[in-house]
Amino acid sequence: MKYKTLKGLQDILPPEIAVWHHVENISRDIFKNYGYQEIRLPIMEATDVFIRSIGETSDIVEKEMYTFQDKGSRSVTLRPEGTASFVRAYVEHHLYNNPAPQKFYYMGPMFRYERPQAFRYRQFYQIGAEAMGIDDPKLDAEIISMISAILKSIGLEGLNFEITSIGCKKCRPDYRTALKNFFSGKLDRFCSDCQRRYDANPLRILDCKVPSCIESRKGSPPVLDYLCGECKEHLDRLRSYLGLLKVQHTVNPNLVRGLDYYTKTAFEVSSENLGSQSAVAAGGRYDSMVEEFGGPPTSGIGFAMGMERIIPLIKNSAGGTDGPDLLFCPMGDKASEKAFLLTEQLRAKGLWVEMNLEDTSLRSQMRKANRIRAQHIIVIGEDELKNNKVVLKNMTSKEEIAAAIEIKELLKIISDRK
């Protein structure tokens, strides 16, 4: 019987996993410097959590969710993104009672039923962050600068930061009307999804990927022309703070996000080296969502970056080349027992130690030492036990060091050479 991963899902194996750890560790370090704490959320939620926030007419909700009935006939959904689950938790645990800004980060798998292709999977991993309770654009600039710090620290180059504003509750109705006026005479040129969107949510027409819709919406009113004074000022101040922090960026008035909950700032970071799936990170403000989830009026801003698009951009991403600090090669039962004990004792002292568990020839043990890239080896047999002395061989320098069979001494020799 042969089993395979489901379409659009993948196993992540060593040594590539070392690159994932590298990205996760850098992100954790930088999150810490910016005051973000980890939050771990379930990978399933009640389906409504996503419908209410991401939006009924969004592609994610309409086409991409893994939704099913559990055994109690509840509709549950594997999370397609992190922010909706986060806001559910933020409100459920009254986290808004803590001093603002409250800052959180998360790492984990997301699920979207999309057509699998390069850099696009059905289970993919995001690292994301959310900052709550401050509506000053300094926070927007800070979070964008933090993304830049993380991606730079990982060593990525050729990134473009694009920002825009998509207005707020106050100015969106005017923009919606302007869009409807623009589309009204030519609705027959749009796909049936867009015709439905016209009434439900005309902004979504701007996000349609159907080529004839892309063509027919050319010349539609630009969102930036419809921003209210507050949204305009927010964007201007964000730009000036980004200038101050030297975060290179452009304003892209055509940037549309696939989620309904955004207000004011929206942004995307793309790479020149990924072809058509070029977005490596994206995010924005969501100043109404907490209230819509039953909490007090609280602004929020967040982003998520896609691991499967970041990992292939890392140069020299082989990773994990070093083998164990020490390999014991015992000859005979007594020596094997002694090595078995020493292995455990040295592991407890923080070394990576392996031993040959099976009784094999010295030659095959040496072959194994090379194959697993052991840094040091110790051959231990009857004589060594009798004299309480071993020779520790450094496999790189070929240096041979005589040592007593004694934890402290072995530990020191290896630590000095690490």
Name the residues that contact ligand ATP, by CB under 6 A.
Answer: 81, 112, 114, 119-121, 124, 126, 258, 277, 279-282, 304-306, 308-309
Q: For ligand ATP, which is the closer residue by CB, 271 or 336?
A: 271
How many other CB atoms are found less than 10 A from the CB of residue 26? 18
Minimum distance from residue 377 beta carbon to ligand ATP (Å): 43
Contact partners, residue 253, CB within 8 Å, separation at least 6: 164, 222, 223, 224
Minimum distance from residue 304 beta carbon to ligand ATP (Å): 4
Chain-centre distance for alpha carbon 161? 17
Q: Is 342 helix (H, G, I), strand (E, B) or coil?
A: helix
Q: For ligand ATP, which is the closer residue by CB, 282 or 380?
A: 282
- Alpha carbon distance 340, 356 (integer Å): 9
Q: For ligand ATP, which is the closer residue by CB, 114 or 230?
A: 114
Q: For ligand ATP, which is the closer residue by CB, 106 or 119?
A: 119
Q: For ligand ATP, which is the closer residue by CB, 102 or 126?
A: 126
DSSP output for 187-254 = GGGS-HHHHHHHHH-GGGGGG---HHHHHHTTTPPPGGGG--HHHHHHHHHHHHHHHHTT---EE-TT
- Alpha carbon distance 129, 350 (integer Å): 33
Q: For ligand ATP, which is the closer residue by CB, 207 or 384?
A: 207
Q: For ligand ATP, which is the closer residue by CB, 217 or 376?
A: 217
Minimum distance from residue 274 beta carbon to ligand ATP (Å): 9
Task: Extract the tokens encoding 100.
Answer: 């603002």
- Alpha carbon distance 32, 337 (integer Å): 45
CB 236 within 8 A of CB 93: no
Beta-bridged to residue 69, according to DSSP, are: 75
- Alpha carbon distance 404, 228 (integer Å): 78
Q: For ligand ATP, which is the closer residue by CB, 206 or 331?
A: 206
Minimum distance from residue 308 beta carbon to ligand ATP (Å): 5
The C-alpha angle 367, 371, 376, rounded to 5 degrees, equals 80
Minimum distance from residue 110 beta carbon to ligand ATP (Å): 7
**Strand spans (E) along 274-370:** 279-285, 300-306, 326-330, 353-355
CB 109 within 8 A of CB 307: no
First-to-last alpha carbon distance for the chain, in angstroms, is: 46
Q: For ligand ATP, which is the closer residue by CB, 8 or 319?
A: 8
Minimum distance from residue 111 beta carbon to ligand ATP (Å): 9
Minimum distance from residue 366 beta carbon to ligand ATP (Å): 44
Minimum distance from residue 124 beta carbon to ligand ATP (Å): 3
Handedness of CA 379, 383, 386, 392 (dihedral sign): negative
Minimum distance from residue 71 beta carbon to ligand ATP (Å): 28
